Chain A
């Protein structure tokens, strides 16, 4: 980082001195601007929080009723300290935002996690012109290229239909991915989907936000004797090796994650199927986005940050990798 950067990595996280706030801090902070409600970005460490309006219910659920959370509409400019701050859609999950920070004519954009692929559950990514772009690089290698989500959704649907004699358990990140799958499947079928409790509570928040999705029913509320053959069950990956799965012992299992693009992880994790569906930008989308922001300086975080920064450096960008404590999502 350079001394004149508007944001710097501090022990508590990404900090903007001009505004006196942190973005997605992992250590204690006064004001935290939260890009989205995934656990590694929204930690209970700040006195007050600012996020996109659509993010408020999700953040509230993670941080509890006592947390001081303020939602702002996308695009609205706020004066914080000597900085002007606005939030812009990142297309990652419902309520996800990029943070635009302007001071003395310089513009920084912290992307948070983002994607460019269409997603019926959240506002599409907005290109924000800037001088310095802080980009994620979860899938910052050229082997990561996503297929059209509708193609993947059709594959998921075919897999489900081809499995009438057993339950089909699809593991997907409980916030965002699961709802995106329910929304992508909606044009293909009207059969209801059974859900794990962690998925269901977030589905309710998405429904309250008016997102159209397939009907769902919590598995826990389904009668014990109900035959689950032919049913689709959505669950977070963390439920896999738990007693919750016992009712689903005979199930065919699949995982929806960008990591499933590569055969090794697909095989090692032992799922019957892997669907490469990600809420992150793939390699072409990362390059295209960086290009479109007009930024000459790029700071990369998560995943393959080193690789992306080095590649950009060779292409004439001023680029570096930031050491952050974002875990990245193993289940991205």
Chain B
């Protein structure tokens, strides 16, 4: 338990993904396989079904400490985490405490609590607390209340496991898929399984941003135009009787999209499609809707109903088990269209954007925003399916971002190497006589500008809240962003997607910055029902 608690603490205190992977890999290689299996179980978000309600722990702490209820509540307010406050309230055991393996804790001590009498539960908890230091108690409490969460995405856990197993993350991702019992045998199998290579996706081919005028690409008849979707790029594999959906992040996402998996199962064996997972109901829905389906393991009927998805295919990489990647796109596209002719529901064909000349496509691109797409992808009809972001054959021709002039109102220090500089800024727009924050952004300035702005911030601070400084609202910045949505999380009621600094508008006085009404006018029409849960998951946080 000490080792696992140390891992929990290590993950808790760093925001660096590399440091997290190092810590997890360190644990996997040092811990006995039986412990590592349980650690993997917990780190990938699996839980022991609620063994003990928090109330039982709370009452026990109250009785054991003899402290009045109001004082315990003040303690809770100061800590804000139930498992932690119960861990901190009790005396620290004196001297060395015994070390028992995580597996022993879980199998011999925690799981039997489920069937134990209330009396036996209390006795077991007290015995456990008396032998654990506060940081171990915290983890123990989280495990017994089913509240264990850890600040590391499943992909990082798999990267760590892959490093220890000395294979690609995709390989271990496949090994740990589905149901398994957290045993030493299972963990050993994850480290050295036999893997049919057939479960692997192909390396993704990526489009490069188009910077030159589109006419420089030559004759439009040599090109195919598709919509640039804003979803999750993925490959759908139908091989050896199995169906797998791999995201570009090398994450196996099949279980999250069961409706797509069912559709894939109907494809002929030996098929690999390249495409985009999108929230879809008679057309594409905003990315925010898709987010309801990302980042959670359980797919509830409600999520299926409120955030329906589809795999929209735009390329065929393999047919009848034959790798088509060297064939010209024109041929792959023809085969794809005949394979998916009449496709419907959760598996669709990404339509060609009609057009014969560049101006046709320029006009289509102009209508992107109304269609909920980010612009066009232009693909040379003669091109093979490459790997990585190779320039020349695939171009993304995105629409210009929205731009607004905003006033910088707060500054925040950067991370890591930039912790001594103010590199993150909050930008606001006028709301009546006040300023309402609408975005937090950091990229887009040159190093010289960052240093100059850092000096300015230090000299023009109005107030400090911890590491954050509120500054004089006089500096105007032009921000670009990709989309705008309602938000209940932000005071302004508005959240923008991918905000970035375009220019420091030294020429503009603050009063000429945008007003909140302008942003409200950019919002899409109000949805029929406010999607609160969904808004909360927006990943951008001004």
Contacts and interface: CB of A to CB of B under 8 A. Distances in A.
Interface in B168-187: none
B198 interface: no
Interface string B77-117: 01111001100110110000000000000000000000000
Given A249-B417, A314-B68, A145 B91 contact: yes
Interface residues of A, number: 36
Contacts of B91: 145, 284
Contacts of B416: 249-250
Contacts of A241: 413, 419-420, 422, 467
B420 A246 contact: yes
Interface stretch (A63-71, A224-232, A257-265): A257-265
A127 interface: no
B9 to A, nearest CB: 9
A284 B92 CA distance: 12
B147 to A, nearest CB: 14
Interface in A231-250: 240-246, 248-250
A262 to B, nearest CB: 5
Nearest to B67: A142
A45 to B, nearest CB: 24
B305 interface: no
Contacts of A250: 416-417
A271 B84 CA distance: 19
B71 interface: yes
Classify chain B: how many residues form its interface, as a range: 20 to 34
Contacts of A311: 68, 71
A314 B66 CA distance: 12
A123 B65 CA distance: 32
A145 B420 contact: no
B75 interface: yes
Contacts of A131: none
Chain B interface SS verdict (over half) = helix
A293 interface: no
B529 interface: no
B29 interface: no
Given A145-B88, A262-B88, A307 B419 contact: no
A270 B13 CA distance: 8
Given A243-B420, A253-B419, A270-B467, A143 B13 contact: no
B74 interface: yes
Contact of B79 (A147, A242, A262, A310): A262
A271 B413 CA distance: 12
A244 B458 CA distance: 13
A142 B75 contact: yes
Given A263-B81, A269-B467, A143 B417 contact: no
Given A266-B13, A311-B68, A245 B78 contact: no
Interface of B: 12-14, 65, 67-68, 70-71, 74-75, 78-81, 84-85, 88-89, 91-92, 138, 413, 415-420, 422, 466-467
Q: Which 10 A-B pairs have the closest CB atoms?
A: A245-B420, A143-B88, A249-B417, A143-B75, A246-B420, A241-B413, A141-B75, A307-B74, A262-B79, A264-B80
